[in-house]
Structure 1
Amino acid sequence: LSGLALVLIGAYVQLKIEDTPVFHDLQQRSAESRRDAGLRKAPLVQAVRHYWREILQAAGAFFVVNATFYILISGVLSYATTQVGMSRSAILWCVMGAGLTQVVSMPFFGGLTDRMGSRKKLYLTGTVLMAVWAFPMFLLIDTGSLPLVFLALLVGFTIHATMYGPQATLYAEMFPADVRYSGASLGYQFASVFAGGLAPFIMTALLAGTGASWSVALYIIATAVVTFVAVVTLKERYRRDLYETSDAEAAGTVAASG
Structure 2
Amino acid sequence: MTSPSAKPSEPAGTTGSTEPSSPSTRGIFVASFIGTSIEWYDYYIFGTAAALVFGTLFYPGADPTAGTLAAFATFAVGFLARPLGAAVIGHFGDRLGRKSMLVLTLMLTGGATFLIGVLPTYAAIGIGAPILLVALRLLQGFGVGGEWGGAVLIATEHASPRRRAVFGSFAQFGVPIGVLTSNLAFLAVSGLSEEDFLAYGWRIPFLISIVLVVVGLLVRSRLTDAPEFSRLKQEQTVSKVPIADLFRTRPLQLVLASLASIAPPAVGYTVIVYMLNYGTTVVGFARPTLLTLILVSTLFWVATIAVSALVADRYGAKRVFVIGAATAVIWPLPLFALVNTGDWLLALIAFIVAAVVQGIMAGAQGGLFTELFEVRLRYSGISIAYQLGGMIGGAVTPIVATALFGAYGSSIPIAVYVTVLCLVSLVSVIAIQVHPTDSTGGARPVPDAATG
- 1:24 CA displacement: 2.5
**Cα deviation digits, residues 34-59 of structure 1 (max 9, x gap):** 3xxxx321112111221111111111
1:90 maps to: 289
Output the CA distance in 2 between the equivalents of 1:80 and 1:132: 21
1:122 paired with 2:328, answer no
**Over aligned residue pairs, what C-alpha RMSD do you find?**
1.9
Q: 1:198 to 1:11 in 2, by over 3 A?
A: farther
1:11-22 mapped onto 2 (5 Å cutoff): 11-22=217-228
Structure in which a larger fraction of residues adopt helix = 1
Amino acid paired to 2:332: A
Gaps of 5+ in 1: 250-258
Q: 1:160 to 1:173 in 2, by over 3 A?
A: same
Output the CA distance in 2 between the equivalents of 1:233 and 1:198: 24
Q: Secondary structure at the match of 1:73?
A: helix
Q: 1:210 to 1:101 in 2, by over 3 A?
A: same
2:416 maps to: 218
Q: Secondary structure at the match of 1:168?
A: helix
- 1:166 CA displacement: 1.0
- TM-score, with length taken from structure 2: 0.50
Output the CA distance in 2 between the equivalents of 1:202 and 1:8: 37
1:26 paired with 2:232, answer yes
2:246 maps to: 47
Amino acid paired to 1:19: D
1:151 paired with 2:349, answer yes
Output the CA distance in 2 between the equivalents of 1:170 and 1:113: 9
Q: 1:57 to 1:16 in 2, by over 3 A?
A: farther
1:59 paired with 2:258, answer yes
2:28 maps to: none
Output the CA distance in 2 between the equivalents of 1:152 and 1:63: 20
**Conserved? CA contact 2:263–2:325, under 8 Å:** yes
Which of 227, 243, 256 aligns to 2:439? It is 243
1:104-253 mapped onto 2 (5 Å cutoff): 104-116=303-315, 118-237=316-435, 240-245=436-441, 248-249=442-443
**Conserved? CA contact 1:77–1:95, under 8 Å:** no
- 1:102 CA displacement: 2.0
**Conserved? CA contact 2:280–2:286, under 8 Å:** yes
Q: Which runs of 4+ in 1 moved over 3 A?
A: 1-4, 6-16
- 1:226 CA displacement: 1.1
Q: 1:154 to 1:181 in 2, by over 3 A?
A: same
Gaps of 5+ in 2: 1-116, 118-204, 444-452
Output the CA distance in 1 between the equivalents of 2:303 and 2:224: 24
**Conserved? CA contact 1:48–1:183, under 8 Å:** no
- TM-score, with length taken from structure 1: 0.85
**Cα deviation digits, residues 4-49 of structure 1 (max 9, x gap):** 525555555444333233222323x233xx3xxxx32111211122
**Conserved? CA contact 2:266–2:422, under 8 Å:** no
**Conserved? CA contact 1:109–1:162, under 8 Å:** yes
Output the CA distance in 2 between the equivalents of 1:24 and 1:244: 11
**Conserved? CA contact 1:94–1:153, under 8 Å:** yes
Output the CA distance in 1 between the equivalents of 2:216 and 2:407: 39
**Cα deviation digits, residues 152-196 of structure 1 (max 9, x gap):** 000110011110111111110000111011111111111222221
2:111 maps to: none
**Structure with more relative contact order (C-alpha pairs < 8 Å, separation 6 or more):** 1
